Structure formats: C-alpha cells, structure tokens
Structure 1
Amino acid sequence: MAERRDSAPVIVLLAAGESRRFGGIKQLADIDGETMVHRAARTALATGVALIVVTGANAGQVGAALSDLPLHIVHHAGWADGMGSSLAAGIRYVVDRYPQATGALLCLADQPLLRTACYTRMLARHRQKPDRILATEQHGVAGPPTLFPQDCLTELMHWSGDRGAQALLRRENDRVESFTWQGIIDVDSPDDLKLARSQLAANRLD
C-alpha cells in the first residue's frame, strides 16, 4: 500500500484485544454478513484518510479478515499489556511513517454502528481547529472515537498498560470538544452484539 505523508490526520483502529468478556474472537463477530473489524475498517476508510489497524491477540485471523482492504496492519506483540500499550504502538507508527500528520483519530473495532459521517464531521472540525482534542461523549464520559492533535502524539506514543486516554483528556479538558452520536454501542458481550444487530436491523426499516 502506498504510504500517504501529506498534512492530514491518520486513523488508528485498535483491534488488539483478547475479548475475554465476549467469550470469543470479538473482532470476527458477524455484523450484517461482515466481520466487525472489517466493518469498522471499511467505515473508516470511506473518509479517504490513511488507516492503521493495530492487532494483537488472534492477529493472524484478524489480519486475514482485513486482507482485501487498503490499510496497514501493525502487529503489537505486547497487546496483553493493555489498551494503552496498543494505542502507543499505533501512535509510534504514525509518528514514524507519517511525520507530517496533523493528528491521529483513535477508534475501536468494537463500535460497529458508527457511520463514516461521524468521522468526517470530526475530521472537518479538525481542519478548522487543529489544536483541539475532539472526543465522543457517552454517558457523560469522553472517549473514542477521539481525534488527538499532533502535539499530543509524543505523549501517547509512550503510553503503557491499561491506561486509555482519560488522564490526558482530563488534563487537557479546556481544549476538549465533545461530540455525541446516536446509537453508539460498544460490543463487550454477546448481549451487546445482539443489541447492535437488532439496532442495525431497525435502522434499515426506518
């Protein structure tokens, strides 16, 4: 895949977890005839922005599910150290391969109902205010998808353990802008998957 090095953000999709709560390979769960990780990656790619997928547990199977898409896979051998560690692996790749990137849009493979329009709105706001941190708010808590500007990347590339980006979001609260999207579901359990499938079916009937 040709590497893009222009001045734009890069999307980092985290798909490295073991899915212990789910009881199977969550990334490969079927969503409307498509694996969840493929759906998430395809949705992100529709923005036209370069995409990096961080894999870890079950990397071979997850990577195979993405083999038809124009993206770059970063296998993180230390995935068991936690999401913060996987996030850092993706950010290190951004800093190394996309030195002109204006930021990184962090998203998760287990939010299958997100639409491309969510990402494009955040990317458009980033072009207007490239110094802002753009986060998605759920139940009063800011989290992914989150677009971190360039000046945050050095810190994030050294992240470790189970830390998400909450500490950074709290510290930089004055420049965090929150977005709210309808119907976001984080698939952490089989019941969440059933809910996501039901909501997707209901949306098609609207």
Structure 2
Amino acid sequence: MLDISILIPAAGASSRMRGRDKLTETVDGLPLLRRQALRAIDTGAHVAVTLPDPDHPRAAALQGLPVQVIEVPDSDLGMSASIRRGVGLIPRGIKAMIILPADMPEIETEDIQKLISSFQSVPFPMLQQATAADGTPGHPVLFPQDCFMALQTLTGDQGARDVLKANAHRLRQIPLPDRRALTDLDTPEAWRAWRASQGDACLTG
C-alpha cells in the first residue's frame, strides 16, 4: 500500500438536497459514495471515509470495501470536523493526505493518480491541487505530512483553504480534463442538470 492516504469526507448532512442524500444517488450503477471510494482504492493508497456514525445509512454503500471508516460525532461543525478527525486517525507513516470530496461524480482514478505521481516526482514536499482544464482551482488536493498539524486546527465549513493560502509558494496545480475538478453536486437542481448533460434526465438514475 502507498504511504499516502485519501480522505473522503462523507459526514455532512446533505441539507441542500431537501430530504435526499446526494452520496447515495446512483452514478454508473453505484451509490456515489461507493463509486468515489472505489476510485480511491484503485490508486493503491490507504482510504479513509468519514461518517456521522458507523450505523449511518451511508455505511451500507461502503460494505465490503477495504476502507477505514472514521466516526465524526461533531460533524455538524462543518467539513473541518471531518478533516481534523481524519488526519488524527490515519495510520502512522503516511507522507501525504489527499482530500477527495465525496460529491464529485466525474473524478476518476487516473485523476487522483496524477496528484500522487506529481507529489512523488519532486524531492521536496509540495502541495498538489487539481484544476479544471482552464486552470480554475478545484479538487482533490494533496497535503504533505508537514501540513497535518495545520489541518487539525481548522474550524468551520471552509475546508482547507487557509492551509492552501499559507502554502501558496509550494503549490503545484494539476490540470484535469474539462471540469472534472469543479463538478460537485449539492442540490436536486445540480443533479438534474448534470444528469441531463450525461443524457439521463432522472434524478436517481
């Protein structure tokens, strides 16, 4: 297994979906969360997924997968809670962590691998951030081990933007095809628009 961990924050409430759960919506015949975990597993990295609790309905989407499930009892405090908990509970010896949002249906294994390969190609630790083809910053993002302490001090629901800003001098941007690094689906309207663009008009597929 690679000495790199991929953290998939999946402890949020999906509140903008108005009663639906975006992470159990079907993509390629699978719940989105399972699809995302499989893409991460295929890189050979350690994979951790945060959930509000181990009995949450989303846990069914991970059944049988070799992933570390991390409970986040204070998930109502925002994404930072998942990041803090995830960083604190990954195995020893991990040299970098990739934060891979769970609600990005266009991310492929090869996209994650690009960040890993770029990180491994230089002799000093650099952050790696995926961008759209036009250079617009997006996700996922790789943080070297020396950023872990800063990640554990995050608060609120802004993710790791402050850590990115503080390390802008050693941030390498990795372009992904089209808008893969930007496409996230938080609302029923976003899901319908995306499915229509894929030739599928049904919200749940």
Instruction: Please indicate, yes or no, whether the TM-score normalized by the shorter chain is above 0.5.
Output: yes
Paired residue secondary structure (1:151): helix
The answer to whether the Cα contact below 8 Å between 2:78 and 2:157 also exists between their aligned partners in 1 is: yes
Q: Hey, what does 1:137 align to over in structure 2?
A: 131
Calculate percent identity across the aligned residue pairs: 25
In 1, distance between residues paired with 2:151 and 2:15? 25
Q: Hey, what does 2:46 align to over in structure 1?
A: 50
The gaps in structure 1 that reach 5 residues or longer are: none
Q: Hey, what does 1:176 align to over in structure 2?
A: 171
Of residues 89, 104, 118, the one that matches 1:93 is: 89
Judge which range, 154-163 or 64-73, deviates more.
Answer: 154-163
In 1, distance between residues paired with 2:48 and 2:198? 26
Paired residue secondary structure (1:194): helix
Quick check: 1:26 aligned with 2:22? yes
In 2, distance between residues paired with 1:53 and 1:87? 10
The answer to whether the Cα contact below 8 Å between 2:129 and 2:138 also exists between their aligned partners in 1 is: yes
In 1, distance between residues paired with 2:197 and 2:116? 26
Judge which range, 129-138 or 150-159, deviates more.
Answer: 129-138
CA 57–70 in structure 1, closer or farther in 2 if over 3 Å, else same: closer
CA 69–117 in structure 1, closer or farther in 2 if over 3 Å, else same: same
CA 63–189 in structure 1, closer or farther in 2 if over 3 Å, else same: same
The answer to whether the Cα contact below 8 Å between 1:143 and 1:166 also exists between their aligned partners in 2 is: no
Paired residue secondary structure (1:21): helix
CA 46–199 in structure 1, closer or farther in 2 if over 3 Å, else same: farther
Deviations, residues 109-161 of structure 1 (Å, cap 9, x unaligned): 10011010001111111111251000123586534200000100111123222
Paired residue secondary structure (2:56): helix
Paired residue secondary structure (2:105): coil
In 2, distance between residues paired with 1:101 and 1:63? 24
In 2, distance between residues paired with 1:151 and 1:28? 34
Q: Hey, what does 2:203 align to over in structure 1?
A: none
Judge which range, 193-202 or 35-44, deviates more.
Answer: 193-202
Count matched residues.
194
Q: Hey, what does 1:104 align to over in structure 2?
A: 97
Deviation at 1:201, TM superposition (A): 4.8
Quick check: 1:196 aligned with 2:190? no
Q: Hey, what does 1:127 align to over in structure 2?
A: 120
Deviations, residues 90-112 of structure 1 (Å, cap 9, x unaligned): 11112xxx221111011011001
In 1, distance between residues paired with 2:136 and 2:85? 24
CA 176–110 in structure 1, closer or farther in 2 if over 3 Å, else same: same
The answer to whether the Cα contact below 8 Å between 1:113 and 1:196 also exists between their aligned partners in 2 is: no
The gaps in structure 2 that reach 5 residues or longer are: 201-205
Q: Hey, what does 1:186 align to over in structure 2?
A: 184
